[in-house]
Each structure stands twice: as C-alpha cells, then as structure tokens.
Amino acid sequence: MVVLILERVPASLRGELSRWMIEPRVGVFVGTLSALVRDKLWERVADNPRVGGAMLLYRSNTEQGFAVRTAGDPDRSLVDFEGLMLVRIRPGAKGGRRKAVEQKDGF
C-alpha cells in the first residue's frame, strides 16, 4: 500500500494522481501500486514547482515496516532517530501544539 499526502498543490496534479489512487480526503491519496508506478508518480510530484509539500509512505523492509520520502516544504518533517522515523511539527504550523484543555470531575 502507498500513501501520498500533498499540501498546497494544483488541482491538475490531484486529478492526475486520482487516475492511479483514491483520494479519501483532500490531498491524501491511497493505493496499491508497483514500485515502478510509485516512483514515476513520485517524480511527477517532486519535480512539480507548485507543490507546497509532499510526503510519500510505502511498505519497505525497515524496522518500522515502511519508508518515507518528502518534497517541498511540508508542515511536518521527518527525523531519523537511531533508525526510527519520528515526526517533527514545524513551529506555527496549523497542526502544531494546541492548548491543553483542563478536565474537571473526570470529564
């Protein structure tokens, strides 16, 4: 399985990707592709100058069972921490830290 997450991309690129994968949410594409098709689609995404950010996740023989590629300037980046891929959220990004909500009486 291949997951491709796009941020700030032209509609034409999303339309092209929808020929090969489904788009269950805006900018999130999922599909089962051969390695050749996956790599060709990634080239189209990574070489597009209008891509704000892109992240490709696919099955691989690693400790976590998947590999990740990134292109552009995504809101989240990956950090290799002794062989494990961890996510770093860019300060000020939309999905960044939120204020903690205080719970009273266990609710």
What is the number of structural domains in the chain? 1
CATH of the domain at 63: 3.30.70.240
Buried b (16+ CB within 10 A) or exposed e, 91-100: eeeeeeeeee
What are the pLDDT digits (tens) for 55-104? 999 999 988 888 989 898 877 788 888 878 888 887 876 654 444 344 44
- Asked if residues 73 and 55 have their Cβ atoms less than 8 Å apart, the reply is no
In a domain, 99, yes or no: no
Which sign, positive or negative, has the C-alpha torsion 77, 81, 85, 89? negative
pTM score, whole prediction:
0.76
In a domain, 38, yes or no: yes
* pLDDT of 31: 97
What are the pLDDT digits (tens) for 14-50? 999 999 999 999 999 999 999 999 999 999 999 988 8
**Site of tokens 């552009």:** 72
In a domain, 51, yes or no: yes
78 lies in which domain range? 2-89
In a domain, 72, yes or no: yes
